[in-house]
Homo-oligomer: A and B are copies of this chain.
Amino acid sequence: MSTGVVRVGLLGLGTVGGGVIKTIRSQQEKLASRLGKRIEIVKALVRDSEKERAVHLDRSVLTTDFEDVLKSDVDIVVEVMGGVEPTYDYVRALIEKGCHVVTANKELLAKRGTELVDLANRHQVHLAYEASVAGGIPILGVLRQFLRTNDISGVRGILNGTTNFILTKMEQEQLSYQEVLKQAQELGYAEADPRSDVEGFDAMYKLYILAQLVYGESLPLAEVNRKGIADLTAGQIRIAGELGYRIKLIAQAEQTGEGIRLSVEPTMLPLSHPLAQIQDAFNAVQLSGNIVGDLLFTGRGAGELPTASAVVEDLAYLLTQPFTPHPVWKEREGGAETTQETEAKSFCYVEGTGPAATPDRVLHFLRLAGVEVHKLKVQFDLGGVLRAGLITTGFTDEHSDLLRSDFGLQVRCFPLLGSVE
């Protein structure tokens, strides 16, 4: 590193990239006194160097050609361009040149992290990624700290702000998924192609990274039980609420007897559950240590400045720390099966108009089938549509199939978390 100046390269100059530059500029005195050096952005890779931007960078700093970054002798690269291709190749090439990496890219880490960690170790460079999970909440640092004195069996949370915003609005304004998605896109809370968020990919990538920290290994992404929110209806959310529950997209990593289990799925929480209280675009992570007990961390999970805060903190931190090898990342195939525990409670939502679909008959069928019904909420609308929410024990896919075939009902079941009853 040249004396007096840290040469930083930036891959990507979107929302987070702009936030990084603003943060470095607004905090430059603090950073300089801490690092004993001035931070200089020497090259920034962009898609379009002519585009108007909220932050000004000298024209000579911008480039559309990655080779320019590679040639500019940067000490550190901040990767905020996202995606895996060509990002992986760029990051790889920079590591091979001995460049430290700070990244906010959860997809890259979840898909190629095992290789990048190994490569960084071989080239003795830092790979830092606090910004990749839960934005400004310093959850990776806190987890690393607790793991030194605690055994942590699991971690769960709301890791995607977009879906939490959509679910909050669907409940509060009794709107359909499509209506709220449109609002969210207009507000900039959801992307034009919302699939990564609403189908649970984004939360899954973050969960994968958390598992690497907590367990020293993770599962291949194909083995994560992932379900999104795109098929949730206002009716399901309303009936859940009337039963005293709220539906959240919960990401959860658990250690079971058969191995680790990772899931991202819409989950019913009693309204009194701490995660049920997390509304709008906020994120929250709950962890349980054998010594420290339960902890909950809440904050903005995304957005320009919260994410930039984590990026700049990583950048400053690694500049003041000697290199130590990063713990190796591993993937273990054959995680715990998502078995249907017959003891577990679940929330089943049924809807239909068939003549057989009366509450009495459905309850009679379930009783004979050995399903316990703890709570029931029934609604008929003017068109004679039955909508019912049931809190059950012992409900399986087989019961779903029979309710469909014999009663003409549509069925959607959700796992139920931390029932306080």
A contact residues vs B (CB 8 Å cutoff): 23, 26-27, 30-31, 34, 136-138, 141-142, 145-146, 148-150, 274, 277, 289-300, 303, 305-306, 308-310, 312-313, 316
- Please name 14 pairs of A and B residues whose Cβ atoms are closer than 8 Å in the assembled complex, sorted by A: A31-B149, A136-B292, A136-B293, A137-B295, A149-B312, A149-B313, A274-B277, A291-B305, A291-B306, A291-B312, A292-B306, A294-B300, A295-B297, A295-B299
For this chain, the copies found in one complex come to 2
The distance in angstroms between the C-alpha atoms of A51 and B302, with both chains bound, is: 54
Q: Give the distance to chain B from A150, nearest Cβ to Cβ, in Å.
A: 6
Q: Are B30 and A148 in contact (CB under 8 A)?
A: yes
Instruction: Please name the residue on chain B nearest to A300 by beta carbon.
Output: B293
Task: Kindly provide the distance from the CB of A238 to the nearest chain B CB, expressed in whole angstroms.
Answer: 19
A142-B142, A149-B313 known; A295 vs B295 contact (CB < 8 Å): no
A290-B308 Cα distance, complex, nearest whole Å: 12
Return chain B residues, CB-CB under 8 Å to A27: 149-150, 291
The complex places the Cα of A136 from the Cα of B312 at a distance, in Å, of 27
Partner of A309, one of B274, B289, B305, B316: B289
Give the shortest distance, in Å, between A20 (CB) and chain B (any CB): 10
Residues of B within 8 A of A308 (CB): 291
Given contacts A274-B277, A295-B297, A299-B296, contact A316 B148 (CB under 8 A): yes
Q: Which of B136, B137, B149, B305 contacts A30 (CB 8 A)?
A: B149
Q: Which residues of B contact A138 (CB under 8 A)?
A: 142, 145-146
Is A23 in contact with B274, judged by CB distance below 8 angstroms? no
Cα distance A138–B316 in the bound complex, in angstroms: 21
Q: Are B293 and A305 in contact (CB under 8 A)?
A: yes
**A294 neighbours in B (Cβ, 8 Å):** 299-300
Cα–Cα distance between A277 and B299 once the two chains are bound (Å) = 15
Complex: how many Å from CA A134 to CA B379?
46
Give the distance in Å from the alpha carbon of A27 to the alpha carbon of B300 in the complex.
Answer: 33
In the bound assembly, the distance between CA atoms of A148 and B30 in angstroms comes to 7
Cα of A305 to Cα of B146 in the assembled complex, Å: 13
Q: List, in ascending order, chain B residues with CB within 8 A of A31's CB.
A: 149
Distance between Cα atoms of A291 and B145 in the complex (Å):
23
In the complex with contacts A148-B30, A149-B27, A309-B296 CB distance below 8 A: no
In angstroms, Cα B150 to Cα A34, docked, is 13
Q: State the CA gap A150–B311 with chains docked (Å).
A: 12
Please indicate the chain B residues that have their CB under 8 angstroms from the CB of A293 in the complex. Answer: 136, 299-300, 303, 305-306
Contact of A292 among B142, B290, B296, B305 (CB under 8 A): B305
Known: A149-B27, A291-B306. A298 touches B299 (CB 8 A): no
